[in-house]
Every structure is written in C-alpha cells, then in structure tokens.
Structure 1
Amino acid sequence: MVSRAPIYLNHSAFDFSNTFSRKMATLSFFSALLLTVVVSVPINVSGSAYCGPVEATDKDLVQFPLNLEFLEAEFFLNSALGHGLDAIEPDFAAGGPPPVGAQKANLDPVTRKIIEEFGYQEVGHLRAIITAVGGIPRPLYDLSPEAFAQLFDKAVGYKLNPPFNPYSNTVNYLLASYTIPYVGLVGYVGTIPYLTTFSSRALVASLLGVESGQDAVIRTLLYEKANEKVMPYNITVAEFTNAISFLRNKLAMCGVRDEGLIVPLRLGAENRTESNILSADSNSLSYARTQPQILRIIYGTGSEYRPGGFLPRGGNGKIARSFLGKV
C-alpha cells in the first residue's frame, strides 16, 4: 500500500500526506503561485504507483477511453438537455445502466449551447470507437451533486458549506466540467505511442483533437473569471482549478502532469506568462497519462483497484476490469 507520494514540480518535491492540516495558501492574482493543496479529507491511496504503460492490444487500448467518453456524453447531454445517451443512441450503452444523479444544469444560453454541442460530439466519439473496435457495456456513473461535492471537498481540503453543486449555476458547472475532458485528453496522448496500427493511431489522434478543443474552451471560459470569487465560497475560480489539478496529480501518483489556470512565471510558456489556459510542459507539449493513472483519478481513490467517485462499480472493458478484485 502506498500512503505517501512525492510529486515533483521542476525538481522541487511537494510532499502530500494522506491527512493535511493546512488549508490552501492564496496569493494575489497576478503573482499567484500554484496552490499547495492541503487535503484534510482523508484519501486512502492504495494504487500500485506504477507510471508506465499497460500491455494490451490496440482493441483494448482504444476501448478503454469509452469509460470517459460515456461519462462525458452523459454529463454534457443531461446538463444541457435534461436527458442522456438513452434518448439519442440507446444501443451504444450495450445494456449498461443509466447514470444516477445527472440533472439539467442552470446554464446561461451561450454555455448551454456549447455544452449541448460537446454532448453531441461525445455521441460521435462513442460511435467512432464502437464502429472501429466494438463497444463495452456502459458502466454505472454517479453524476449526482453529492459525488461532485465530495470531489471538491477533497480538492480544497475541507467540507464546503453549502456543498458544491455543479448544476446550480454556470460557473459551478464549468468548474465541474474542468474535472473531466482534460483527463481524457492526457489519456489519449499517453495511448498513441503504444498503438501498433495506423487505423488505431489515426482514430485516437482525431479523438484527441476534439477533446483538447473541449478542454481549451472550458479553461478559456473559466480564465475570463479567474480572479472572481465563487459564491458563497471565499475561493477564486483560479484557486479552484489549481486545487483540482493538484488533487489529480496526487491521486495519479506519477508527478505533475496537470496545472491550473494561473502558474508562477517560471512555469508559464517560455517563462514569460503566468496565464496557463493550456496545461503543458516546459516545451508546451501536452502531458500524458496511462490507464492506471486515469483510473486512480476518476475513481477518486488513488487506486486503480478500488472503484469510487464517478465510477462506483468500476470501469468496463478488459483493461479496467483486469484491476478489479486484485487488492
């Protein structure tokens, strides 16, 4: 069992323990450092801490992202339209259960239209993958306000009062959306080098392009409000994004591959900007994650072996199911 994992940021180690006693340190908007998130809500990390690739066929590697594509489709469609995949392409679910807790969000007209488009894009992604390599049963997803509230409590280090509700307003919804597409895009970046056929690489590269675009739109909309306080919390939009990114780094246990909207100058593009609308490394190349890292994040447990979070029963497909029952 792994209970502590040092995370390295430009060769400086930030030691995240299971229980943190300090709260986030906040600085001014233009000189803000990445927050050292101190989580007082316990996170039992029991993953393998293995950061390398898994051995799998192209079919299994391409099917694995369906766990995130289903999640995005259900979250975006239900939030924008009040109904999910079963009202549009029910066969894609392959008999898997509908999500629990998803709601229509209280969005401004422009954001609602963007999220509706994202939802339809995810339907297309599902079709492309299923057509190419076959589908998997849709896993059970928990998209309830309570599931998001638990995630945001872990990120900021204490129980928010009132509990965070992603569906209550546009800003909350964009922050909740910040937690999802980026995980998919770094997963696609991490998958492409291990695919063996041209058709698989072409498909995943095309999926990556749109997932990256979705993440960029969400981050840009949030950046416009970066210094605004999220009501009724005494936390800015940028501070929330930094907290979420730090939590994902902790859960994945494989270094810093995720950054919020505001970074110190030394981490900005070419060390010349504190804005961080696109999360990238020192050469402005996208970060990559492997399948175990993705599972540790979306389960919210820091373990590819222990389901939770958005996937209370775990993911589906050969890769995700191979970890279950091996604790």
Structure 2
Amino acid sequence: MAHRSCLSAFLLLLLALEFVTVMGVTLPQCRGIVASDVDRVQFALNLEFFEAEFFLFGALGKGVDDFEPSFAQGGPPPVGARIANLDPTIRSIIEEFGYQEIGHLRSIIRTVGGIPRPLLNLTVQAFTEVVNLATNTTLSPPFDPYANSLNFLLASYVIPYVGLVGYVGTIPNLVSSNNRALVASLLGVEAGQDAVIRALLYQRANEIVIPYGLTVANFTNHISELRNRLAMCGVKDEGLIVPLQLGAENRTTSNILSADANSLSYSRTPTEILRILYGSGNESRPGGFLPNGGSGRIAMTFLP
C-alpha cells in the first residue's frame, strides 16, 4: 500500500509539473509538428523580427525598415517600440545585438525565403502585462522596459532565450544539411546574446528593482516560471538563482546558463513558442507580443 501511494504521488507530481513525457508517453500538447525545412526555418523569423525591432529601437530609436525595408515583405511596422534610456555600455551591447538580428533576417531570407513581418506589439503595456502575469500582481507604476538599462535588460530576458530553445528544437527535425548549418549558426549567436543578458543581470541579481521591492533574481524566476506555465511542457526555463538540486551537477545555486540536469540546452516546439509569445498558453489564441498571430505556414495553421 505504501509503495502504491508513493507511486501515485510521484505520477501526480509529474502531471502537475506537465513534464513532456509521463511513463514514456508524450503529452498531446508537447508533441512535435510535421513541417518542411522551409516552414520550420521561416517560423524563426517571427522571433528574429521581434528581437531585431526591440533591440534596434531600444538602442537607436529606429528599426528594420530604416536598414533593410524589403525584409518586412509588406508586414506592418511594430507598435510601441521606442528608444530606451540606456547607459552607454548597455546601449552599445544592444545596438550590436540589433545589427546581428539584421544579419539573421538576411541569412534566413536568402536561404529559404521570407515571410511578411508579423504585427509586433512592443508597447509598454504589452511588457507590463507579461510582468504582471509573471508576478501575479499589478505592478504600480506599470513596468516600463524603456525606462532604464535594468528594465530593458529584464525585458530582453524575455526574448533571445525563447529563440535559443526554439532553434535547439528545430535542428534535429531538419533534413537539409544547409538548413542545419544555418540554424546551428543562428543558434550560436542567440545563445551568446542570452548568455550576455543573463550574465549582466546576474551581476545585479540581489539588487532591488525600484520601486517594486523585488530583486532582479526574483524577476527572472517569475518570468521563467511564467514561460513554463504558458508552454505547458515541463520545466525548460530557469531563473538566475535556483535550488542546489537544479544547479550544475547539483553543486551551485548560480544559474547563469539555463540548462538541464546534464547542462544541455532545453528545446521547445513551435506550438510551445507560440503559447509563450501570445501570452495565452494557446497556440490558436493570438495576443501578447503578436496580437494578430505569427506569420508563416506553421503559425497560420493554428489560427482560427
């Protein structure tokens, strides 16, 4: 009886945490999709446009249309994006990230063709809603990602990591070696951007984010937990400070790089990514940063 009770409790824990597999069976919401190489690589443009516009506007006050207007393919300009109040060092880093994203867009478009830029909601309100949902409270004043360097870094914490785990999930499904090489190269830079952002935030992990009374580490933990909840496929996202049992080799509470028990990158499917970007936990219910839904065949397949 005791053995059965322990087993039942263990299974309930797995279900509660929504792991990808339970007793070797993949949960329906976590299964992969059937798609061509072109569709899989083009899907990444949704995130690449997001990053490019947020970084370029944040550092320079102008976006993709000011550098490569043809990339948008008739898609609307982002809403609410603007220059951020950044210190010189952070502005230089974010500017570089923005230029890198232009290169990513160009490389994908040249290799597999482009898609219309999706409508991106980069307003203060969009980020405020994410942070409110993550912290389970209504922050006052509303969280403004453009207010200062720390806020911008916290907002940036939301972005490259989602692209990183998306690329990790994409590579094993690609047939063409050219496409695998492209995505591997994209992944390298996305991982680097995420590492820089996490390292900069880790330096300030115990700093209070004024005026909210939460530390930087608290913010990252809340945001990571929210992404896990929205994606519905287990723990694939971790904040800057973790319990010892989740640290590298169970020997550290620092978590500058988010990774699994063997320090390997987590992966996500396109459906998980859409649930996060929409902020709805539903790949068929647009909202959040993509109010009209994503572009490309994969994203559009799920639209009502």
Residue from 86, 94, 102 that aligns with 2:73: 94
**Residues in 2 aligned to 1:304 and 1:177: alpha-carbon distance in whole angstroms:** 22
Residue from 179, 196, 209 that aligns with 1:217: 196
**Residues in 2 aligned to 1:51 and 1:15: alpha-carbon distance in whole angstroms:** 14
Question: Contact conserved, 1:49 with 1:254, CA < 8 A, in 2?
Answer: no
| Corresponding residue number in structure 2 for 1:282 | 261
Post-superposition shift, 1:14?
8.7
Post-superposition shift, 1:82?
0.3
**Residues in 2 aligned to 1:287 and 1:270: alpha-carbon distance in whole angstroms:** 16
| Corresponding residue number in structure 2 for 1:35 | none
1:197–1:175 CA distance, 2 compared to 1 (3 A): same
**Residues in 1 aligned to 2:13 and 2:89: alpha-carbon distance in whole angstroms:** 41
Residue from 258, 263, 279 that aligns with 1:300: 279
**Residues in 1 aligned to 2:250 and 2:191: alpha-carbon distance in whole angstroms:** 23
> Relative contact order: is structure 1 or structure 2 higher (C-alpha 8 Å, sep ≥ 6)?
1
**Residues in 2 aligned to 1:52 and 1:118: alpha-carbon distance in whole angstroms:** 32
Post-superposition shift, 1:238?
0.1
In the alignment, residue 302 of structure 2 is paired with which amino acid?
F
**Residues in 2 aligned to 1:85 and 1:64: alpha-carbon distance in whole angstroms:** 18
Post-superposition shift, 1:50?
1.5
Post-superposition shift, 1:223?
0.2
In the alignment, residue 158 of structure 1 is paired with which amino acid?
T
In the alignment, residue 138 of structure 1 is paired with which amino acid?
R
Equivalent residues in 2 for 1:159-308, closer than 5 Å: 159-308=138-287
1:14–1:231 CA distance, 2 compared to 1 (3 A): farther
| Corresponding residue number in structure 2 for 1:65 | 44
Q: Deviation per CA, 1:112-155: give whole Å up to 9, x if none.
A: 00000000000000000000000000000000001000000000
The structure whose residues are more often helix, as a share, is 2
Question: Contact conserved, 1:49 with 1:253, CA < 8 A, in 2?
Answer: no
| Corresponding residue number in structure 1 for 2:115 | 136
**Residues in 1 aligned to 2:133 and 2:15: alpha-carbon distance in whole angstroms:** 17
**Residues in 2 aligned to 1:13 and 1:294: alpha-carbon distance in whole angstroms:** 21
| Corresponding residue number in structure 2 for 1:127 | 106
| Corresponding residue number in structure 2 for 1:43 | none
**Residues in 2 aligned to 1:119 and 1:13: alpha-carbon distance in whole angstroms:** 39
In the alignment, residue 219 of structure 1 is paired with which amino acid?
R
Query: 1:50 is paired with a residue of what secondary structure?
Result: helix
In the alignment, residue 130 of structure 1 is paired with which amino acid?
I
**Residues in 2 aligned to 1:180 and 1:65: alpha-carbon distance in whole angstroms:** 12
- Provide structure 1 residue ranges, at least 5 long, that are not aligned to the other structure: 1-8, 17-47
In the alignment, residue 318 of structure 1 is paired with which amino acid?
R
| Corresponding residue number in structure 2 for 1:323 | 302
| Corresponding residue number in structure 1 for 2:85 | 106
Post-superposition shift, 1:205?
0.3
Query: 2:156 is paired with a residue of what secondary structure?
Result: helix
1:166–1:302 CA distance, 2 compared to 1 (3 A): same
1:14–1:175 CA distance, 2 compared to 1 (3 A): farther
**Residues in 2 aligned to 1:249 and 1:80: alpha-carbon distance in whole angstroms:** 29
Question: Contact conserved, 1:139 with 1:316, CA < 8 A, in 2?
Answer: yes
In the alignment, residue 214 of structure 2 is paired with which amino acid?
I
**Residues in 1 aligned to 2:29 and 2:14: alpha-carbon distance in whole angstroms:** 18
- Provide structure 2 residue ranges, at least 5 long, that are not aligned to the other structure: 1-9, 18-26
Question: Contact conserved, 1:141 with 1:310, CA < 8 A, in 2?
Answer: yes
1:79 matched to 2:58 = yes
Residue from 305, 311, 317 that aligns with 2:290: 311
In the alignment, residue 124 of structure 1 is paired with which amino acid?
G
Question: Contact conserved, 1:136 with 1:317, CA < 8 A, in 2?
Answer: yes
Post-superposition shift, 1:53?
1.3
Question: Contact conserved, 1:155 with 1:243, CA < 8 A, in 2?
Answer: yes
Query: 1:95 is paired with a residue of what secondary structure?
Result: coil
Query: 2:264 is paired with a residue of what secondary structure?
Result: coil
**Residues in 2 aligned to 1:212 and 1:248: alpha-carbon distance in whole angstroms:** 18
Question: Contact conserved, 1:219 with 1:277, CA < 8 A, in 2?
Answer: yes
**Residues in 2 aligned to 1:298 and 1:198: alpha-carbon distance in whole angstroms:** 29
In the alignment, residue 170 of structure 1 is paired with which amino acid?
S
In the alignment, residue 225 of structure 2 is paired with which amino acid?
F
**Deviating runs (4+, > 3 A) in structure 1?**
11-16
**Residues in 1 aligned to 2:31 and 2:95: alpha-carbon distance in whole angstroms:** 35
Post-superposition shift, 1:90?
0.3
